[in-house]
Amino acid sequence: MSTVYDFTVKDRKGNEVSLKQYQGKVFLIVNTATGCGFTPHYDPLEAMYKEFKDQGFEILDFPCNQFANQAPGDADEIHEFCTLKFGTEFPQFAKIDVNGEDADPLFAFLAQQKPFEGFGKGLKNAALNKFTEANNKKYGDKAYIKWNFTKFLIDREGKVIARFEPTVDMKEVREAVKAAL
């Protein structure tokens, strides 16, 4: 597979969705959680979505409970939380695994295209790195994603052009999206 358009995922109701329907758009694919310290990223994500959706921008939200069980609940509970607390309007898909033997193939592909390069510098980033090392040990070489709110930027041809760890300032993510549009 050479682009994200080659993948099919499940929407939050369990229906199959071909990513070909996003052909020609710029989009972010994000693994999310409702009980994470990075959950406030929903605010700038939704702001970007509203600002850029008419220019061909999408955000694809994939809840994941593999990081300290921070995405409890079923698809409807997660969707209700996101829409009520953050007013999200971008598409939310079925809860998935992003690591291990049951990792969604899309996320394995994304991580192979743009591997983890670290959380950056500083005490907060070092602490997160230690915590994720312990959490991801059980996945071995299939620990593709290190934490919630990892974002992958996809260009209009379906190529992965950037990876943003949750520690990256959302202003930087916004600027990259704007440049890709």
Task: Tell me the backbone φ, ψ of residue 63, rounded to 5 degrees.
Answer: -60, 145
Catalytic residue among 19, 36, 59, 106: 36
- 164: its two tokens: 């943003």
pLDDT at 39: 87
pLDDT at 1: 59
pLDDT at 72: 78
Cα within 13 Å of Cα(32), Cβ side? 28
Say if residue 122's pLDDT is above 80.
Answer: no
- Residue 155 zone, left/alpha/beta (φ > 0; ψ -120 to 50; rest): beta
Q: Note if 36 is an active site residue.
A: yes
Task: Indicate the SS3 state at residue 57.
Answer: strand
The DSSP output letter for 73 is S
DSSP characters for 88-137?
Answer: --S-BB--B--SSTT--HHHHHHHHHS------SSHHHHHHHHHHHHHHG
Q: What domains can be seen in the chain, in order of their start residue?
A: 4-180 (3.40.30.10)
> pLDDT tens digit string along 64-76?
999 887 787 888 8
